[in-house]
Amino acid sequence: MLDRTEAVREPEPGQNPPPELKRELVLSNVGVHFNGGPRPALDGTNLTLSARSTLALVGASGSGKSTLADLAGGLLSPDSGTIEVDGIPLSGGVQRAWRAKVAYVQQEPLLFHGSVRENLARANPSADEKRIRCALVDASAAFVDQLPQGIDTVIGDGGRRLSGGEQQRIALARTLLRDPSLLILDEATSALDSASEASIVEAIRALQGKLTILIIAHRGALVALADRVVELADGRIVSETAIK
């Protein structure tokens, strides 16, 4: 088992500075076939994400949306094809370095027992008060000031003393403290009521144009923010619609 895990050890980021995503992220002919899967999760997919644009990925359950997001975020390597950020192939140490520039907000954010401040500090221990305040405002999470001890309020195991929408916004603030180039939201609002969804949508709208955003959602207000909507079916892109 040790040999097997050693064999798949990721190279260190080394001296590679992470790519910044100043121009575009390009997935060329990428294929992913998970072990035991009856068919490829992604099958020769081509997609270009322009820097500072907002792209929405839609499609039925199992169509490959999260797989594509994992590739773009450097969490997964394709079995075939290439991924490049500003012309730099995402492989080896670069892939690992790139991950530090990616903010990934998933359906169930992982918060820790501790205060809001402690949760935020995990992303960037050196962030000063001003930086933290900016991240909270950018994430529409200024509600923190109304908690009993403000930013020092303990939020319970997994943040359970907060609503789902509040947890999402703390998770978003935390991720913004890492100064990401790419923000990925995977079904980030699917479990939220419409008021909580609206506050996330407002936060994302304010971030548009400042960084590159990849939204995965089945429908709704988040998809409506996108410049371009790409639909996947059975691991292939079946339609692309430019909105703006």
Ligand X SMILES: Nc1ncnc2c1ncn2[C@@H]1O[C@H](COP(=O)(O)OP(=O)(O)OP(=O)(O)O)[C@@H](O)[C@H]1O
Radius of gyration of the chain (CA): 18
Give residue 243's identity as a one-letter amino acid code: I
What angle (nearest 5°) sits at the alpha carbon of residue 105, between those of residues 99 and 5?
45
Which residue type sits at 98? Answer: W
Could you say which of ligand X, Mg ion, none residue 34 binds, taking C-beta under 5 to 8 angstroms by partner kind? ligand X
Residue whose CB is less far from ligand X, 8 or 195: 8
| Beta strands at 54-59 and 228-233: parallel, antiparallel or unpaired | parallel
The SS3 of residue 3 is helix
189 binds Mg ion (CB under 5 A): no
Half-sphere exposure at residue 58, Cβ-oriented, CA atoms within 13 angstroms: 16
Neighbouring residues of 6: CB distance < 8 A, sequence distance ≥ 6: none
Question: Could you tell me the smallest distance in angstroms from the CB atom of residue 146 to ligand X?
Answer: 33
Q: Which is nearer to Mg ion, 66 or 119 (CB)?
A: 66
Q: Find the part of the chain contacting Mg ion (CB under 5 A) among 16-24, 64-72, 168-176, 234-242.
A: 64-72
Considering the complex, state which of residue 33 and residue 113 has its C-beta at the smaller distance from ligand X. 33
User: Rounded to the nearest whole angstrom, what is the least distance from the CB of residue 143 to Mg ion in the complex?
Assistant: 28
How is residue 141 written in tokens? Answer: 């999470």
Span of 2-10, 63-71, 153-161, 200-208 interacting with Mg ion by CB under 5 A: 63-71
5 binds, among Mg ion, ligand X, none (CB under 5 to 8 A by kind): none
Distance, in Å, from the CA atom of 57 to the CA atom of 237, rounded to the nearest integer, reads: 10
State which of residues 63, 66, 95, 167 lies at the interface with Mg ion (CB under 5 A): 66
What are the residues binding ligand X (CB under 6 A)? 34, 37, 41, 59, 61-67
Give contact residues for Mg ion (rule: CB under 5 A).
Answer: 66
